[in-house]
Amino acid sequence: METILTIHYEKVGTVVLLKIVEYIHMGNVPGSFRILGNGASPYHFQLGKLASISMKEGERKWEDNGKRSQKWEVSYNVEGLTCTFSITKSTGINSDEELKIEMEDNTCREKINRHAIKQYSSGFTQIVGRAEAGLLVEDMICFHANSTKDVRGYVKGASMYVPYTRNTTNSSGGVTSTTICPYGSSGTRKGLYVTEWKKKKENEKPYMGTIAHYYANNGENLFTRGIDVGLSMMVKIRVSNGALFGVDELDFTVDGPVQHPSSAILYMIKEVTRTGMWTPRACPHCANIQRQRRWQSESDDSDNLPVAPGHGHGNSQNARNHGVFNGDGNGSNYERNIMFFIN
C-alpha cells in the first residue's frame, strides 16, 4: 500500500483554505492479494462504515474414512447483506482430490410486516476433481432462494435454473466451454458467476479451468445513495505435474478480492449477458489496468529492446472508457480530502 500526501493552498476572500489530499493506492490490480490457497492469514478489511471484506481459513479436518479437507472463505458485507465465496479442498486416502467451490449472495431483504422479514439470495456450487488425464468437472448447480423469518424461525424455499453455456473451437481443435450465470435483485445489487473450461480436443477432459465471480452494489435508488462497490474473485484450476512425489496434484490459485468501479462491473454484466461471451478481460476496468501495466513495462524497458505486446492485455474496444461506466477505470485508488480553514 502506498500513501501520498499533497498540500494545496487556496485563498477565498479573507480565508486561506489549506487542503491536504491523502492519496492511497491499495495495489488491487488483477494478480494482487491472491489470498486463498496461498497461506494468507485471516483478515478483516473495512470499506467505509457500511461495507467490509473478511477472509478466514478453516482448520484442517480429518474424517473417519481418512479423508482430510480444508476450507477457505471470503465474505463481503455491504449494507447488512452478506455475500460468501468459499473453496473446500478434500483429499482421500487414495490421493483422490476434489475442489468444492460455493457462492451465496443475499441480494435483497424485505420487511413483510413487524413480525416477518423475507430475504432473497442466489447461489452456485461447482465441484471439480482430478482425473487420470485432466480435470473431472461436475455439472454446476445454480439456485435462487428466499428465506422468511417469522415467529416460526426460518422457512426456506429454493428453485434451480439452467445457466447459459457457449462452446467455441479454435483452429487447432481446442474447445473452450463458457457458462455464464447472471443474477441480481430488482434493486441495485447484481452479480455474475462464470466458469470456463479448456480442452485440447473435444473428446478429452479439460486440462484447465477458470471460475470467476463478479459483485456490484451501486447503492442508488429513488430515495437514498448507499455504498458503491464492485468486487471480483477469480479461481484458476489445473492439474500440476507432481515431480516431487510422482503424483499429479489438483492445483488452484485465487486472485482477489479485487476492487472495481461498480459501474464497470454492471456494464460488463450487461454485455456478457447480451452476447453470451466472456473473457478475463471482459471487465473494462481490468482491461484498462492491464493496458497501463503494459505501458509501464514498455516505459521501463524503453532504453533496451522494445517489449512485444503480450496476450494478457485488452484491445482498444474494452480497454477504454467510452462513457459506459463512471470513472477512468483505474480503481483501487482512494482519495481523502482533509480541510483546514486559516483566518
**Which range marks the domain in which residue 16 is found?**
1-28+280-303+310-343
Alpha carbon distance 261, 255 (integer Å): 17
269 within a domain of the structure (yes/no):
no
Q: What is the pLDDT of residue 127?
A: 93
**pLDDT tens-place values along the chain, 343 residues long:** 444 444 444 444 444 444 444 333 333 333 333 444 444 557 788 887 888 888 887 777 887 777 888 888 999 999 888 999 999 998 887 778 889 999 999 888 888 887 788 888 899 999 999 887 778 888 888 888 877 777 677 677 777 777 889 999 999 999 999 999 999 866 678 999 999 999 999 888 899 999 999 999 886 654 456 688 899 999 999 887 765 555 677 888 888 888 888 888 999 999 999 998 998 888 887 777 666 666 666 555 544 433 333 333 332 222 223 334 344 444 444 333 333 333 3
When divided into structural domains, the chain yields a total of: 2
Task: Give yes or no: residues 115 and 210 share one domain.
Answer: yes
Alpha carbon distance 101, 87 (integer Å): 5
- Per DSSP, the residues of 143-164 read EEEEEEEETTEEEEEEEE-PPE
Q: What is the pLDDT of residue 166?
A: 92
Domain boundary among 210, 240, 264: 264
Task: Give yes or no: residues 6 and 103 share one domain.
Answer: no
pTM of the shown model: 0.72
Q: What is the pLDDT of residue 316?
A: 27
Task: Give yes or no: residues 147 and 169 share one domain.
Answer: yes
Residue with cell 451501486: 218
Q: What is the pLDDT of residue 111?
A: 81
296 within a domain of the structure (yes/no):
yes
Task: Give yes or no: residues 179 and 53 share one domain.
Answer: yes
C-alpha cell read off for 236: 484458476
Contact 71, 87 (CB under 8 A): yes
Q: What is the pLDDT of residue 104?
A: 92
Task: Give yes or no: residues 235 and 286 share one domain.
Answer: no
Alpha carbon distance 192, 183 (integer Å): 6
Alpha carbon distance 175, 181 (integer Å): 20
Contact 266, 283 (CB under 8 A): no
Task: Give yes or no: residues 333 and 255 share one domain.
Answer: no
Q: What is the pLDDT of residue 278?
A: 92
Alpha carbon distance 86, 58 (integer Å): 10
Task: Give yes or no: residues 66 and 155 share one domain.
Answer: yes
Contact 137, 211 (CB under 8 A): no
Domain boundary among 264, 290, 318: 264
Task: Give yes or no: residues 165 and 238 share one domain.
Answer: yes
CA angle, 97 as apex, 95 and 101 as ends, to 5°?
165
